[in-house]
């Protein structure tokens, strides 16, 4: 016990130098914030901002009470929206699976050529928002559900493809080695060594993407790609705020249900 006194009682987590750097870092961050705030507020018309609570209350007042009589008219567009999301997801997943196998380092037939091509497809799909895909497709194939479905499918390829190829790369090599050692062909190695290992990821990703697509397809109507967004657009155009309120509540309800379904399914698989 006595030899404890030989040792220092002082121990610090960081050296003084490090502490100084961290302090300077925070200072720089605060300075940056102040500077940005000034630029941001330069063009703000403060009268509008101070007026905001009153405007919001006014809009809220026009929304209330929601025009529930409008609800039956929304059922068909809602059904369209769900169909856009579901069919779009299925289409996207079907296209994403081969892309994922081409992009994964351990299954790609050509790492130097096909893998970059597959990665490019994934990045291209992910970099363009569904709404923009829909804008382009409405211009190409005309307004309607089909444009929405294809827009959702194209946007989903990147998301599903990226997560799936990461799952493929994370598979256990020993299981694949064991299947290879039996004299299995390449296709059999895929179906016995890799597919069983990525099945939980596959279903989890697909259902998750479907859940996201329900939300995204609700607004595609804004650009003419069908679904409940068309009704939203129409109601906004005539300032029928009590109808807008009904539509927003309906979308909220649908999203909650889809989220619940997707959570249930993912829980059941894992």
Contact residues: another protein, CB under 8 A: 172, 174-175, 177-185, 187-188, 191-193, 196-197, 199-200
152 vs 143, 159, 161, 201, 204, CA distance in Å? 14, 11, 14, 20, 18
Smallest gap from residue 184 Cβ to another protein (A) = 4
CB of 76 or CB of 191, closer to another protein: 191
Closer CB to another protein, residue 158 or residue 204?
A: 204
Q: How far is the CB of 183 from another protein (least distance, A)?
A: 3
Backbone angles phi, psi at 64, to 5 degrees: -100, 140
Q: Which is nearer to another protein, 106 or 197 (CB)?
A: 197
Write the CB contacts of 133 (distance below 8 Å, at least 6 apart in sequence): 150, 151, 152, 154, 155
Closest CB to another protein among residues 184, 249: 184
Q: How far apart are the first and last CA of the chain?
A: 53
- Minimum distance of another protein from residue 131's CB (angstroms): 38
CB of 106 to another protein, least distance (A): 14
State the nearest-atom distance from the C-beta of 193 to another protein, in Å.
7
Cβ at position 29, least distance to another protein in Å:
44
Helix (H) or strand (E) holding 154: helix 145-169
Taking alpha carbons only, the member of 234, 230, 232, 239 closest to residue 58 is: 239
Tokens of 242: 């009590």
Choose between 184 and 222: whose C-beta lies nearer to another protein.
184
Residue 96: name the closest of 145, 189, 166, 188 by CA. Answer: 166
Residue 172 phi/psi, 5-degree rounding, is -75, 120
Tell me the C-alpha to C-alpha distance, in Å, between residue 96 and each of 63, 101, 163.
Answer: 42, 9, 10
Nearer to another protein, 76 or 182 (CB): 182
Give the ranges where 170-269 is alpha helix by DSSP (H).
173-181, 186-188, 195-220, 228-237, 241-269
The least CB distance from residue 95 to another protein, in Å, is 21
CB closer to another protein, 67 vs 203: 203
Distance from C-alpha of 23 to C-alpha of 16, rounded to nearest angstrom: 10
């Amino acid at each position: 016990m006595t030899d404890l006194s030989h040792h220092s009682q002082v121990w610090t987590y960081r050296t003084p130098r490090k502490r100084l750097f961290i302090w300077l870092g925070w200072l720089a961050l605060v300075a940056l914030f102040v500077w940005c705030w000034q630029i941001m507020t330069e063009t703000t018309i403060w009268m509008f901002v101070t007026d905001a609570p009153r405007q919001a209350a006014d809009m809220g007042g026009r929304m209330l009470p929601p025009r529930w009589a409008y609800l039956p008219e929304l059922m068909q567009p809602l059904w369209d929206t769900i169909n856009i999301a579901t069919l779009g997801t299925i289409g996207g997943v079907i296209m994403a699976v081969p892309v994922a196998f081409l992009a994964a380092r351990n299954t790609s037939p050509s790492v130097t050529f096909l893998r970059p091509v597959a990665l490019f497809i994934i990045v291209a799909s992910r970099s363009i928002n569904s709404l923009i895909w829909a804008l382009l497709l409405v211009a190409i194939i005309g307004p309607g559900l089909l444009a929405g479905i294809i827009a959702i499918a194209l946007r989903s390829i990147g998301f599903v493809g990226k997560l799936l190829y990461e799952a493929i790369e994370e598979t256990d090599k020993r299981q694949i080695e064991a299947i290879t050692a039996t004299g299995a062909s390449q296709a059999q190695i895929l179906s016995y060594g890799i597919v069983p290992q990525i099945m939980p990821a596959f279903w989890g990703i697909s259902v998750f993407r479907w859940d996201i697509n329900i939300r995204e397809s609700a607004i595609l109507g804004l650009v003419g790609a069908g679904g409940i967004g068309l009704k939203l657009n129409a109601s906004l155009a005539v300032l029928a705020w009590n109808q807008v309120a009904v539509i927003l509540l309906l979308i909220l309800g649908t999203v909650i249900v889809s989220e619940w379904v997707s959570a249930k399914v993912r829980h059941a698989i894992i």
